[in-house]
Amino acid sequence: MRLIFFGTPEFAVPTLEALALDHDIALVVAQPGKPAGRGMKMHAPAVAVKARQLGLPLAQPAKIRNPEFLESISALQADAGIVVAYGKILPASLLSIPPRGFLNVHASILPKYRGAAPIQRAIEHGETTTGVTIMRIDEEVDHGPMLAVETTEIGPDERTPSLAARLSRLGAEALAGVLASPPSETPQDHAAATYAPKIEKSEGAIRWTETTAAIYNKFRAFDPWPGVFSGDLKLIDIAPASGHGEPGTILSTSSDGVIVATGDGALRLITVQRPGKGPVSAESIKSILTVSGASPSGSPVILR
């Protein structure tokens, strides 16, 4: 089958690789590169890098609604389009070009978690099961009929990177099956839809009055970005712990870390980081936190 592939991040790479083995990829479309890192150098997205490695035609248009771009897509005479985490909503004028329409690999069990951050939101909300859905794209966000669903469990300590890697492989396999033997389409139950909005950096700020599970789920969900932080202290590695006290109070310290009270229990701080400094492990956390607020008399430190 002759296909056009729209995708941008690493999550989309396994699907592109799988499609390139069995289909004619007329064009790969990725978002433009963006500046990143301390030097703010331009970095190409993972899909663009992989397309070049595979020797596939690549476009990175700033605007996909541009008439010239739409004409170039039409001229390719592709049978269908594939979208995997492209990062922009495709206009109706683009969706109508391939005769077999566009299919999407979405990282949730639809209709739950429609939107930009389904993996992170599922972990944040304490879900124990998630999956991927192969769906036909219509003009509304993650709204079209479903062709296949594959599920997987979320481990109690699993973070976004490992879950995303597993879901990306599941999605590639599920899409390959759909293209090889197209199943019947199943409408979504729109009344049961939930949404997964884009992650904002401010969401990484934790409140110690929250439950241990809520803070720990945020930590797992927001790895690697934006992370979680208490004031200017970034929490690099934490784990649930035993203990009770006023939320934010340091209950104990040891070589295994610092125990801090939450709204219903406690968390162990294993590795932390202050602005402009490197990560600090358990042995040195106590001195950092003492500098941050302990009294000379040894009163408990309260994190805010």
Same domain, 133 and 256: no
Integer CA distances (angstroms), 67 to 24, 70, 71, 82, in order? 24, 5, 6, 20
Peptide bond into 111 cis (omega under 30): yes
Q: How far apart are CA 124 and CA 128, in angstroms?
A: 11
Q: How confident is the model at residue 294 (pLDDT cuts 50, 70, 90)?
A: very low
Position 230 scores a pLDDT of 93
In a domain, 45, yes or no: yes
Position 293 scores a pLDDT of 41
For residue 149, the domain's CATH number is 3.40.50.170
Q: How far apart are CA 33 and CA 264, in angstroms?
A: 44
In a domain, 251, yes or no: yes
In a domain, 197, yes or no: no
Average pLDDT, the chain: 92
Mean pLDDT value across residues 217-230: 97
Q: pLDDT digits over 100-143, tens only?
A: 999 999 999 999 999 999 999 999 999 999 999 999 999 899 99
The domain boundary, picked from 170, 192, 214, lies at: 192
Mean pLDDT value across residues 87-97: 95
Q: pLDDT digits over 65-81, tens only?
A: 999 999 999 999 999 99
Position 43 scores a pLDDT of 86
Same domain, 215 and 117: no
**Residue 85: left (phi > 0), alpha (psi -120 to 50), or beta?**
left
For residue 206, the domain's CATH number is 3.10.25.10
Residue 239 structural domain = 202-293
In the chain, the number of structural domains is: 2
Cα–chain center distance at 138: 22
- Bridge partners of 152, per DSSP, are 130
